[in-house]
């Protein structure tokens, strides 16, 4: 299968989640991603769950990459690194701002060596501004970026999104920045610097919350699972789970009431129109909770779907894992790892007809490709053995856990 | 300022959120986005909040686009549409699968007219598989995709993420697919079809949840604001808000205890190491809740920051709006709309050094650019007036609200 980013070489200095998720997508699209690790390895190699001593977490976001162990605290390590960069199209890093400059590998250091280089930095707060040097974790960015203040149930605690959405949206925007810069380079022949901030990205995804505040002065609050202006539109508990219903207009409302055999509600003066239903949502949801408590999830879905009303079950991760649509779309896939064996992980949603995203190799063991990659750029076996003896590089067999 | 996607023309058939958010990003990057609207307009023009009758919600996700009103139910409308497509690079649509085929504008219909066309479909469940024809809303996809099952507080209700993350992540992956296809087209000269599913994208962002289930059989549950394996790492209530703390290792633990004047906790046998703290998190968090209840947010942050422990405030949308870092990064920006006047909205996180994302024009009024765009592809004023009389096109003045 042809690859979308065939021939694009990425030098990947990233660790943990935001950066690795970005370079994983580039790898899924066919770029040659060379992950440069310090001798101790990406710290997420130590994050569980483990399979035969290898982190399944690391595996799931580092497939399609090669691992080179390079000690960037040694001048010879930096020298090798610069040779790699000269033959690369893209560099991605997610250190705290200032770290690459200390190592002598900032954009300013590298751009003269390779003016076509696209250099992307993904950090908590960005490279500029008063908070730029603050340490960031997903939960800190979710909290400062506002999404926690609008997630959760009315009157309850603010709630972190259960996946690391601050890291992941930053990863996606970093990919977008890189691909846009690649498109631009086709015209100009020049690379550029990309400065992605996790906090910026959280603000970018707040959706209607910003304009609700900026135009009306309303500070949006968590409203649980209901919709601010469409009713009924929520999660309702059944005997064995939850069903989501989305009754988007008055025509669907009529059909929904017929389906649940509550025709009496259709023209009830409290619920006759969507604005009325939204105004009287508490009364309506109390009625619907009692109705749905008499169904199983499967029964409720069968009735509501037959009426043509948008609905769906709340699925836990085991249900997601076995869902026929998700399996049909190859979104849960087995990947064979040389040490751990087969590990099932999320696939790629990038379904391009001629050049689809694809998992062609498992995550590398630490330093698995040190010799291979450095030989590609001209180092001889003897030179590499000497560098190894000097502690500048590490091959797989010496350090893999 | 130079634009990254200068010269890229996008025909935008999208409505509501996922599709428009995708084409907004392409527009922010400098593509010429031509939004094709039915005579009644994108339904999100009817979503509040409104400013002088214009939807601020619509404005915030449709800036940098031009609006052409074209009746695709008329054969002449389809004919004009095909002329537009012949001069375009990208088409994006988010109808339910099957709709474009009915209109005679599916990829199969258009590809022969423009083999370089990149045609991206963004739908709830994708173009294939057993659920492909089901209606989708953000909450249904969040529920079926598993993120709601891991968001929320232990023992509480499942919780929808407060922004429409299912729509937005699908939008971001659609942008990535389009830009990857543009890169590939530089080599092959050929376009292709892109099939993005909101449900696929939700699975792709579940992060460690999938491998926790696939390797250990554990079904991840909501754990509120704590971290599954790092402690203390949570939101703690203060006298006037919440503070997030992220004490990532034993060294930070020591400094944290010193900062809050609880040196007694450092070597407490329940809390001495991170695994112990994680095991005994309930006891520890009870202690910390009582400690933090004595501080204001500002006091707590001052003490913890001074100790070098990662932390941050929980910000509501008004605090996000005024945050100095967010303002410094131009992430809250004023955009002048011809009818509504100045509306403040989220900026773009795509900070590319030479070709940054940028808002160069406000969202269009309905049909604002019908004449302008169709004149660019060769229609005369007289022809357009006739098409207008026939109800095939609508210019701005006739239908804008």
Output the DSSP codes for B140-175: HHHHHTTGGGGSS-TTS-----SS-HHHHHHHHHHH
Question: Which value, to the nearest 10 degrees, does the dihedral of the CA atoms of residues B321, B326, B327, B331 take?
Answer: -90
In the predicted structure, residue A399 carries a pLDDT above the cut 50: no
What residues of chain A, 204 to 223, have a C-beta less than 8 Å from chain B?
204-216, 219-223
- Partners of residue B225 in chain A, C-beta under 8 Å: 139, 148, 157-160
Q: Are A141 and A216 in contact (CB under 8 A)?
A: no
Of the listed ranges A11-25, A70-84, A135-149, B385-399, the least confidently predicted one is B385-399
| Averaged pLDDT for residues B313-330 | 98
In the predicted structure, residue B350 carries a pLDDT above the cut 80: yes
Could you tell me which residues come within 8 angstroms of residue B47 by beta carbon, excluding any fewer than 6 positions away?
A: A208, A229, B55, B57, B58
Closest CA relative to residue B61, chosen from A271, A74, A208: A208
SS3 category, A378: coil
Q: Are A38 and A391 in contact (CB under 8 A)?
A: no
Angle at B136 between CA A334 and CA B200, to 5 degrees: 15
Closest CA relative to residue B83, chosen from B11, B186, B190: B11
In the predicted structure, residue A396 carries a pLDDT above the cut 90: no
* Chain A with chain B: Cβ pairs closer than 8 A: 501
Q: What's the pLDDT score for residue A398?
A: 47
Q: Are A300 and A292 in contact (CB under 8 A)?
A: yes
Closest CA relative to residue A69, chosen from A87, A82, A81, A54: A81
Q: What's the pLDDT score for residue B244?
A: 97
Distance (Å, whole) CA A63 – CA A345? 10
Q: How many residues does chain A have?
A: 401
| Averaged pLDDT for residues B61-65 | 98
What residues of chain A, 65 to 124, have a C-beta less than 8 Å from chain B?
none
Could you tell me which residues come within 8 angstroms of residue B321 by beta carbon, excluding any fewer than 6 positions away?
A: A210, A213, A214, B332, B344
Q: What residue of B is the nearest CA neighbor of A125? A: B325
- Token pair 């023992």 is found at B155
B30: left (phi over 0), alpha (psi -120 to 50) or beta: left
Phi first, then psi: give them for residue B42, nearest 5 degrees: -55, 130
Question: Which value, to the nearest 10 degrees, does the dihedral of the CA atoms of residues B121, B124, B130, B135 take?
Answer: -120
Distance (Å, whole) CA B248 – CA B310? 8
> And the tokens for B198?
């909101």
**Residue B352 DSSP code:** B
Nearest to B140 among A134, A311, A329 (CB): A311
Q: What's the pLDDT score for residue B398?
A: 47
Q: What residue of B is the nearest CA neighbor of A185? A: B4
Distance (Å, whole) CA B269 – CA A358? 48
Phi first, then psi: give them for residue B346, nearest 5 degrees: -70, 140
Phi first, then psi: give them for residue A372, nearest 5 degrees: -55, -50
Whether this model's ipTM surpasses 0.90 comes out as: yes
> And the tokens for A365?
């063991």
**Residue B336 DSSP code:** E
B318–A242 C-beta distance less than 8 A: no
Closest CA relative to residue B372, chosen from B386, B393, B392: B393
**Which run of H or of E encompasses A371?**
helix A370-376
> And the tokens for A69?
């162990």
Helices A165-188 & A18-28 angle (0-180, nearest 10): 50
Residue A228, classified by CB atoms within 10 Å of its CB into exposed (0-12), middle (13-18) or buried (19+), is middle
Q: Within a 13 Å sphere around the CA of A242, how many CA atoms are in the beta-carbon half?
A: 23
- Partners of residue B227 in chain A, C-beta under 8 Å: 139
Where residue B276 falls among pLDDT bands split at 50, 70, 90?
very high
Distance (Å, whole) CA B136 – CA A246? 9
Residue A269, classified by CB atoms within 10 Å of its CB into exposed (0-12), middle (13-18) or buried (19+), is exposed
SS3 category, A2: coil
pLDDT tens figures, B189-204: 999 999 999 999 999 9
pLDDT tens figures, B217-226: 999 999 999 9
Q: Is A32 a catalytic residue?
A: no
Averaged confidence pLDDT in chain B: 96
Q: Are B310 and B246 in contact (CB under 8 A)?
A: yes
Q: What's the pLDDT score for residue B172?
A: 98
B4–A352 C-beta distance less than 8 A: no
Q: Are A59 and A345 in contact (CB under 8 A)?
A: yes
pLDDT tens figures, A283-310: 999 999 999 999 999 999 999 999 999 9
Residue B58, classified by CB atoms within 10 Å of its CB into exposed (0-12), middle (13-18) or buried (19+), is buried
> And the tokens for B48?
């509040």
In the predicted structure, residue B83 carries a pLDDT above the cut 90: yes
SS3 category, B243: strand
Percent of chain A, pLDDT > 90? 95
Architecture of domain A233-316: 2-Layer Sandwich (3.30)
SS3 category, A273: coil
- Residue A372, Cα to own-chain centre: how many angstroms? 29
Which residue out of A153, A162, A187 would a mutagenesis test of the B interface target, given it has the greatest number of B Cβ atoms within 10 Å?
A: A162
Strand partners, A35: A12, A67
pLDDT tens figures, B277-299: 999 999 999 999 999 999 999 99
Averaged confidence pLDDT in chain A: 96
pLDDT tens figures, A223-268: 999 988 889 999 999 999 999 999 989 999 999 999 999 999 999 9
Q: What's the pLDDT score for residue B306?
A: 95
Distance (Å, whole) CA A8 – CA A191? 13
pLDDT tens figures, B164-175: 999 999 999 999
Angle at B73 between CA B71 and CA B75, to 5 degrees: 90
B143–A313 C-beta distance less than 8 A: yes
CATH class held by domain A9-205+329-399:
alpha beta
Question: Which value, to the nearest 10 degrees, does the dihedral of the CA atoms of residues B132, B133, B135, B141 take?
Answer: -10
Closest CA relative to residue A117, chosen from A87, A96, A93, A97: A87
C-alpha to C-alpha distances, B307 to B135, B265, B396, nearest whole angstrom: 51, 16, 59
Q: Are B335 and B327 in contact (CB under 8 A)?
A: no
Could you tell me which residues come within 8 angstroms of residue A26 by beta carbon, excluding any fewer than 6 positions away?
A: A5, A8, A10, A33, A90, A92, A175, A178
Q: What residue of A is the nearest CA neighbor of B194? A: A352
Q: Rounded to 5, what percent of chain B is helix, strand, coil?
A: 40, 15, 45
In chain B, domain spans? 9-205+329-399, 233-315
What residues of chain B, 322 to 381, have a C-beta less than 8 Å from chain A?
323-326, 328-329, 331-332, 343-355
> And the tokens for B56?
């601020």
What residues of chain B, 16 to 75, have a C-beta less than 8 Å from chain A?
17, 25, 29, 47-51, 56-57, 59-61
Closest CA relative to residue A201, chosen from A8, A15, A5, A21: A21
A204–B348 C-beta distance less than 8 A: yes
Q: What residue of A is the nearest CA neighbor of B55? A: A211
Could you tell me which residues come within 8 angstroms of residue A165 by beta carbon, excluding any fewer than 6 positions away?
A: A138, A142, A147, A202, A205, B161, B165, B205
Where residue B48 falls among pLDDT bands split at 50, 70, 90?
confident
Nearest to B215 among A56, A150, A161 (CB): A56
Could you tell me which residues come within 8 angstroms of residue B11 by beta carbon, excluding any fewer than 6 positions away?
A: B34, B36, B81, B84, B85, B88, B90, B91, B92
Identify the CATH number of the domain defined by range B233-315: 3.30.1540.10
- Token pair 């259709």 is found at A266
Q: Are B137 and A246 in contact (CB under 8 A)?
A: yes
Q: What's the pLDDT score for residue B251?
A: 95
Q: What's the pLDDT score for residue B211?
A: 96
Q: Is A302 on the interface with B (CB under 8 A)?
A: no
Distance (Å, whole) CA A194 – CA A208? 27
Strand partners, B332: B346
Nearest CA of chain B to the CA of A93: how many Å? 15
Distance (Å, whole) CA A17 – CA B350? 19
A159–B353 C-beta distance less than 8 A: no
- Token pair 């550029």 is found at A192
Question: Which value, to the nearest 10 degrees, does the dihedral of the CA atoms of residues A97, A103, A104, A109 take?
Answer: -40
Where residue B307 falls among pLDDT bands split at 50, 70, 90?
very high
- Token pair 């999938």 is found at B210
Q: What's the pLDDT score for residue A397?
A: 59
pLDDT tens figures, A152-186: 999 999 999 999 999 999 999 999 999 999 999 99
> And the tokens for A30?
């066919």
Q: What's the pLDDT score for residue B397?
A: 59
Angle at A224 between CA A223 and CA A227, to 5 degrees: 65
Nearest CA of chain B to the CA of A387: how many Å? 33
Q: Are B143 and A337 in contact (CB under 8 A)?
A: no
- Partners of residue A326 in chain B, C-beta under 8 Å: 199-200, 203
Q: What residue of A is the nearest CA neighbor of B201? A: A349
């Amino acid at each position: 299968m042809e690859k979308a980013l065939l021939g694009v070489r990425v030098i990947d200095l990233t660790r943990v989640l935001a950066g690795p998720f970005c370079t994983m997508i580039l790898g899924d699209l066919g770029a040659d991603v060379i992950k440069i690790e310090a001798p101790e390895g990406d710290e997420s190699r130590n994050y569980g769950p483990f399979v035969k001593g290898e982190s399944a977490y690391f595996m799931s976001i580092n497939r399609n990459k090669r691992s080179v162990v390079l000690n960037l605290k040694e001048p010879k390590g930096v020298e090798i690194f610069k040779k790699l960069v000269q033959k690369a199209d893209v560099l991605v890093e997610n250190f705290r701002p200032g770290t690459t400059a200390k190592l002598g590998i900032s954009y300013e250091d590298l751009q003269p060596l390779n003016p076509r280089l696209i250099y992307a930095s993904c950090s908590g707060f960005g490279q500029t501004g008063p908070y730029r040097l603050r340490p960031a974790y997903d939960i800190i960015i979710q909290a400062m970026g506002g999404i926690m203040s609008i997630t959760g149930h009315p009157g309850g605690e603010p709630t972190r999104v259960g996946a690391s959405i601050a890291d992941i949206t930053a990863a996606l925007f970093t990919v977008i920045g890189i691909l846009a810069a690649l498109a631009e380079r086709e015209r100009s022949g020049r690379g550029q610097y990309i400065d992605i901030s996790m906090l910026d990205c959280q603000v970018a995804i707040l959706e209607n919350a910003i304009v609700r505040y900026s135009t009306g002065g309303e500070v949006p609050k968590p409203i649980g699972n209901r919709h601010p202006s469409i009713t009924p539109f929520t999660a309702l508990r059944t005997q064995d789970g939850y069903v989501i219903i989305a009754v988007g207009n008055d025509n669907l409302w009529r059909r929904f009431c017929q389906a649940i055999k509550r025709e009496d509600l259709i023209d009830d003066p409290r619920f006759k129109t969507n604005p009325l239903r939204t105004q009287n949502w508490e009364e309506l949801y109390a009625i619907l909770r009692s109705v749905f408590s008499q169904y199983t999830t499967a029964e409720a879905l069968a009735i509501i779907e037959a009426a043509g009303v948008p609905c769906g079950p709340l699925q836990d991760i085991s249900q997601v894992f076995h869902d026929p649509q998700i399996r049909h779309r190859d979104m849960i896939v087995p990947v064979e790892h040389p040490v751990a064996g087969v590990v099932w992980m999320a696939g790629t949603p990038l379904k391009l007809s001629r050049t689809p995203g694809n998992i062609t190799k498992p995550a590398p063991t630490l330093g698995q490709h040190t010799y291979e990659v450095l030989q590609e750029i001209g180092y001889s076996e003897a030179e590499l053995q000497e560098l190894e003896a000097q502690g500048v590089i590490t091959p797989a067999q010496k350090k893999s856990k």
